[in-house]
Structure 1
Amino acid sequence: MTSVSDAVDALKPELWTSSLNEAMSIYVTDTKGTASSFKPAFTYPIFGEAESIFGYKDLQILLCFDAVTWLPFLNVKWSAAMPDVDTDVKQKMLDQLPALAVFKDEGIWRDRIEQEQRDYVIPGSQVGETWKHQQQDWALYKLDLASAAGLELHKRLQILVLLFIEAGTYIDALDPLWEVYVMYNVTDPQLPEIVGFTTVYNYWKYPGHTKFDAGAIETRKKISQFVVLPIFQGQQLGGQMYERLFEQWLADPDVVEVVVEDPNESFDDLRDRVDLTRLLTSGHIDLLSISIATVTAPGWFEEFKKKEKLEKRQLQRLLEMIFLQQRKDGLGKESAKAIRQFIKRRLYEKNHDALVEMDEPTRLDKLQTAYMALEDDYMRVLAALRLKKRKESDTKPKAKKQKK
């Protein structure tokens, strides 16, 4: 029999409505037994656009993972539920988790973790060398998706795509053109802890009939999804993962270009910083000598783009930032007006169809507004770079001391 208080509560929809982004908590338990928690960025891929649910009071969705094996544990709790609730929260979550996910029984989950961690081997091959950062060791691995263990690990990780990438969807891991790379903290090599992962698609590029007849294979690497766990963000680890992937592809003669699928603002920032730092610290771009005349000379752009395996838009943006950095450092190779015109030329070409319909004053105003916003954004990225400031005197030979 329904009590009076229950009947009154039923008239208060706010008591029965839960924000799913708030109701869900994600936990990662490390090898010391410490659990770190964070909230999802999105839940609409699982529960719908509203990212809310009606019919449960005090709803809690606890999604837990082991840092090493990424074995999932799910618990769904509430203090009361209306009869005939439309959405089965438990089933919605289990539909996105692999069959080995444990529901509610934490003891079974911990026992299974202990079994899986015994003699654990990452199901893949290491990419490049282990590196040191913040007194800890880190490594990048390419999963073996042809193995049962590699495929299972990917199934465990992939729910993070829905929870942290806007409009993210699962890849077809059985398609051999997909690659999955996982970054680990390997300070304890027996119990490596997952930091993040990225999915990459290989597009075949026709190399021309001569190379094709000779058996040449050319591919474009397309970074599709890129996730760094929130507990590891802000430590430059995402940039290090991207940097080491790019290093491998630069050294691979079969890779002709690296592109990114629909990057969000945070990944754009990460890529800009890493690409700029690589070009400037390697000496491939010299702030003391680079000029607009150089980069606009016939053939220079295409040749440099091919050598650095950068997509056209990214190289254009990098050059624009480089000229602003050059001026910021007081090297004086290009005037502010020349840089402004250089950037506006690309903006005009990019938005030609819309701008060409405008009268000249409106067109000029739109271009100036777009330029100012872009310059502010570029300066924000450049401010985060940790580059040694170059000076004209850096290239001048030092006088030898006179012998007495």
Structure 2
Amino acid sequence: MTMDSLDIAGSAQQEFVTDSNEALEFKLVRCKEDLERDETTFKPEMSHQIFGETETIFGYKELSVKLYYSAARLSPYLGMSYTSKVDPKKAEGVQPDEVLKPVAEKLPQAFFTNLDDFVKALDKDASFRPYGELLHTFGPSLSSDGDGASPRTFEVYLATAETPGLREHHEALQTFLLWYIDAASFIDIDDDRWRFFVCFERYKTAEGETRYAVAGYTTVYEYYAYPCHVRPRISQMLVLPPFQKLGIGAEMLDIVYRHYKNNEKVVDITVEDPSENFTRLRDFVDCRNCAKLSCFQPLKLAQGFSPTMADDAKKELKMSSKQVRRVYEILRLRATNLSDKEEYRNFRLDVKKRLNMPYQKEDSDMKKLLKVLRPEELAVSVTGREQRIETLDRMYNQLEEEYKHVLERLAVL
């Protein structure tokens, strides 16, 4: 029984209620010393997909749930500790929540429950080599610690379900989605249209051995497009917390783009239900790429959106028409002198004209209906003028704020 179905009487039992996000402790372990280092620990962003909407665990004091992975092979260890456990006789018969079982159900069948065995198995990481085809090697755009440490090296590999090693590795890798992507679901790896872009850090041990650590991954599904084309759709992208804020997400997205760029069968590259963070990342990468095209230069942007922009971005970068228009607006905002009232006004009107298109269609549809029906026969509501203006202003202001976040990142290039 979970906290979602409990009404615990009395404050005395509240000391046995734990925030599951605080209780969970993750590590990507490279060596046994990492087990004692606080800096190697990271937390989940969410846990409701395992422990329910309240994200609480009942029945334990000072609960700690440890979910560790070897950095390369991702062999998991799962364990827990607590100082005391609730007595059902003193809690109106309520049993403590299951803790390890709901987590274990999402892990690969082979995982460690004994920490000593997990430590011994770390040696197997020494022989691990990334699977698939090496697509690109790069260094992070930001230093991880800012203290002049040695440059770091990352590699991105492309794999399919048929690639030796991918299936077992992905089984563990995908479990991170549950803690960092809302409404995440595991994919059907047996579908041969899936493509996996996996990022590893290549590093040297103190003894000079070359080793690898998983940094993140992206999955892409290659949809069929009539008559003989492909429409790749980015499904999932995750950069693991120890590797975030290094520019790796932008590099990975750009690598996906470059992989499909020269494929004549590819119509465009789309994204499945993007999060707010991914939308911002995508906008940044697309703006950076489009800014290199002649049709997106400031003088051309000031003349308004043109079919050439859509055609060139689709041809050169495999962008969808909708995304091209969004990128145009972001880059035009950057090229607009906000102190020039007329120039700024022209930009706002250009964006609002696009936002108003659904209302224009509504007007057109209403005119058609009025030709065949009397006003009293209409069972549809029409948005009033004042309401439209208010809605357009709100939508525009929200968009401008989103665009400015992207421009802040572009400004540091």
Aligned to 1:15: 15
| Match status 1:203 vs 2:207 | no
Is 1:313 the counterpart of 2:317 in the alignment?
no
**RMSD between superposed Cα atoms in Å:** 2.6
Q: TM-score, normalised by structure 1?
A: 0.82
Contact 1:273 1:381 survives alignment (8 Å) = yes
Give the deviation of 1:292 after TM superposition.
Answer: 3.7
- Counterpart amino acid of residue 349 in structure 1: M
Q: CA deviation at 1:227?
A: 0.7
2:51 maps to which residue? 47
Q: Give 1:71-220 correspondences, 5 Å limit.
A: 71-82=75-86, 83=88, 85=95, 87-103=97-113, 105-114=114-123, 116-127=124-135, 129-133=136-140, 134=143, 135-147=151-163, 149-188=165-204, 190-207=210-227, 217-220=228-231
Aligned length: 363
Out of 270, 273, 282, the position equivalent to 1:259 is 270
Match of 1:279 in 2: 290
Ranges in structure 1 where 5+ consecutive residues have no aligned partner:
1-8, 208-216, 389-404
The structural deviation recorded for 1:46 is 1.4
Whole-Å Cα distance in 1 between the matches of residues 359 and 238 of structure 2? 31
Determine the structure 1 residue equivalent to 2:345. 337
The answer to whether 1:27 aligns with 2:27 is yes
1:196-220 Cα distance to aligned partner (Å, 9 max, x none): 111111111003xxxxxxxxx4211
SS in 1 for 2:158: strand
Moved more, 138-147 or 16-25: 138-147
Corresponding residue for residue 233 of structure 1: 244
- Tell me the equivalent position of 1:391: none
Give the deviation of 1:361 after TM superposition.
Answer: 2.4
- The 2-side partners of 1:62 and 1:10 are apart by 30
Report deviation, 1:75. 0.8
Structure 2 contact 157–198 (Cα < 8 Å) conserved = yes
Q: 1:118 to 1:185 in 2, by over 3 A?
A: closer
State yes or no: 1:64 paired with 2:68. yes
- AA in 2 matched with 1:195: A
Tell me which residue corresponds to 2:4: none
Deviation of 1:15 (Å):
1.2
- CA distance in 1 between counterparts of 2:83 and 2:389 reads 61
Alignment CA distance shift 1:54-1:350 (3 Å): farther
Contact 2:30 2:122 in 1 (8 A): no
Distance 2:224 2:252 in 1: 24
Distance 1:17 1:354, change over 3 A: farther
Give the % identical residues: 26
CA 1:240/1:176 → structure 2, altered by over 3 Å: closer, same or farther? same
CA drift at 1:81: 2.6
Contact 2:80 2:100 in 1 (8 A): yes
Residues 66 and 88 of structure 1, relative CA distance in 2, 3 Å threshold: same
Partners of 2:314 and 2:321 within 8 A in 1 = no
- Secondary structure (helix, strand or coil) at the match of 1:126 reads strand
Structure 2: unaligned runs, 5 residues or longer = 1-8, 89-93, 144-150, 364-380
Give the structure-2-normalised TM-score.
Answer: 0.80
- Deviation track 1:134-191 (CA, whole Å, cap 9, x = no partner) reads 5222110123422562111001111111100011111111111122211111244831
- In the superposition, relative to structure 1, how do residues 289 and 18 fare at CA in structure 2: closer, same or farther (>3 Å)? same
